[in-house]
A = this chain, B = another copy of it.
Amino acid sequence: MKRFLSAILVVAALVVVSAQPARRRVTLIVTGGTVLTQDAAHRILTPGAVAINNTDIVDVDTPANIAAKYQAAETIDARDQIVLPGLVNTHSHAPMVMYRGLADDLALMDWLNKYIFPAEAKTVSPELVRVGTRLAAVEMIESGTTAYADMYYFEEEIAKATFEAGLRGVLGETVIQFPVADAKTPAEALVRAERFIKEFKDNGLIVPAVAPHALYTNDTATLVASAELARKYNVPMLIHFAETEDEVRVAREKYNMTPTAYLDSIGVLGKTTIGAHGVWVNDADIAILKARGVGVAHNPESNMKLASGAAPVTKYLAAGVKLGLGTDGAASNNDLDMFEAMRQASFLAKHATHDPTAVKAQDALDMATMGGARVLGMEKTIGSLEVGKHADLITVSMRAARQTPMYDPVSHLVYVTRGDDVRTTIVNGKILMKDRQLKTLDRAAVIADANRLAARVRAAVAR
């Protein structure tokens, strides 16, 4: 009787299994966490799961439904974690991690002229850029940044290191009027920039770009030539603009216009322009930025530390200007942690507008995800967890005492979470970090290389 019953159960089980439709094979499933999709409806699955095949998201559903539909080569358990789109850093100078903390608490021009420019003049080299970018990549992967915009020198070294690390980047070769480490003249820089664009134009992770430094460091001809180069290859143009009150003064004296109006008057602003800072803009400037489709990179920490001012974030949002968050280079922040950028964006906007309802936690998270994706021109491919988008996502632990209890995952991500809480970082479907173990970079070697070169930097400023 017992034997007979067993036989029936086995047969029944086989019937159940064979009745199941065949599960689709996928490369990766992330399951069990609170999934913040950051889609248009801000859908949250508690818990949820994300199915990934190769580079793309193929499904977002409950863990049970995903398990029923898919069979994965690898599964990541995200219980007690929040799963969200990877963070997008819209403004940085990655290799400047090599100068972090070298000089702080100085007026901008003292800081640049006495420390940063001399240190750069003596130490910027392909090697320093390579080593610095690797260090920045470790920091970005460890703190949940999956895509970033960059402008620096020897940008091809940055592109190579970024690609090897597995990060997504919009990387702009700097064009500047005075002689720098990789170009003696802006003409030379433009030649470098064109070569750089051609080299990386069809790279799946890297979008090459042109980066005229700013209006106060380039003449009109150079700015126009930079914009033309970007248009010729249909690549983004990155530029600093309206960062300080002094820049407004310079623009008014030289051109009798605001920085924004001047840049618009020479025809360099457009849908693929990424403008960093945008602190000192008036309502007419905001209207220009909206009309041209310029993406603005807001850097609250750098703006506070250098006392540049507070960008009118609530006005940008109300006007519908594309708005993302950035850390700026680590020499003026002093790190690349986008969780700090989110928190500071919220705090600074509340303070500056005298309104505690300004830039709510959800607004800050939106800026760091979909907002950043829009600024980089990637809103159709990254920035949210939706079917068909690239699989750029992170999982974040919520087990710290400072995260206990949790009433609202979005509040916790913005107000009490640190980059160090990130457990898993995935870009383009590839795991770059799992349980805080890096997969694409040799952490110890990167840190050792950075410390070795830091001795040279220290010597350079010690003179």
Chain A interface residues toward B at CB < 8 A: 97-98, 100-102, 104-108, 111, 135, 138-139, 142-143, 301, 303-307, 309-310, 330, 333-337, 344, 346-348, 350-351, 353-358, 360-361, 399-402, 404-408, 411-412, 415-416, 418-420, 443, 446-447, 450-451, 453-454, 457-458
Choose one: B348, B361, B458; the contact of A304 (CB below 8 Å): B348
Q: Would you call B357 and A106 a contact (CB within 8 A)?
A: yes
**In the complex this chain forms, how many copies of it are found?**
2
A235, B450: Cα distance in complex, Å: 52
A361, B101: Cα distance in complex, Å: 10
Write the nearest CB–CB distance from A355 to chain B, whole angstroms. 6
Instruction: Point out the residues of chain B lying under 8 angstroms from A355, CB to CB.
Output: 107, 307
Q: Would you call A356 and B418 a contact (CB within 8 A)?
A: no
Instruction: Point out the residues of chain B lying under 8 angstroms from A408, CB to CB.
Output: 101-102, 104
A347, B340: Cα distance in complex, Å: 12
Choose one: B334, B416, B447, B453; the contact of A416 (CB below 8 Å): B334
Q: Would you call B405 and A454 a contact (CB within 8 A)?
A: yes
Q: Would you call A350 and B402 a contact (CB within 8 A)?
A: no
A98, B406: Cα distance in complex, Å: 9
Q: Would you call A404 and B348 a contact (CB within 8 A)?
A: no
Q: Would you call A135 and B401 a contact (CB within 8 A)?
A: yes
Q: Would you call A412 and B101 a contact (CB within 8 A)?
A: yes
Choose one: B101, B138, B307, B401; the contact of A351 (CB below 8 Å): B307
Q: Which 7 A-B pairs have the closest CB atoms?
A: A405-B454, A105-B360, A101-B411, A304-B347, A335-B402, A334-B415, A139-B401
Write the nearest CB–CB distance from A338 to chain B, whole angstroms. 12
Answer whether A105 and B416 are a contact pair too, CB < 8 Å, given A347-B305, A447-B401: no
A461, B285: Cα distance in complex, Å: 44
Kindly list 7 other residue pairs between chains A and B, CB separation below 8 angstroms, not including A101-B411, A306-B356, A336-B402.
Answer: A100-B407, A106-B357, A303-B351, A305-B346, A334-B412, A335-B402, A400-B420
Choose one: B98, B305, B310; the contact of A356 (CB below 8 Å): B305
Instruction: Point out the residues of chain B lying under 8 angstroms from A360, CB to CB.
Output: 104-105
| Most central of A111, A303, A305, A401 by chain B CB within 10 Å | A401
Q: Would you call B451 and A305 a contact (CB within 8 A)?
A: no
Instruction: Point out the residues of chain B lying under 8 angstroms from A309, CB to CB.
Output: 351, 354
Q: Considering only CB atoms, which chain B residue lies closest to A333 in the complex?
A: B415
A415, B346: Cα distance in complex, Å: 18
A361, B104: Cα distance in complex, Å: 8
Instruction: Point out the residues of chain B lying under 8 angstroms from A451, CB to CB.
Output: 404-405
A143, B416: Cα distance in complex, Å: 13
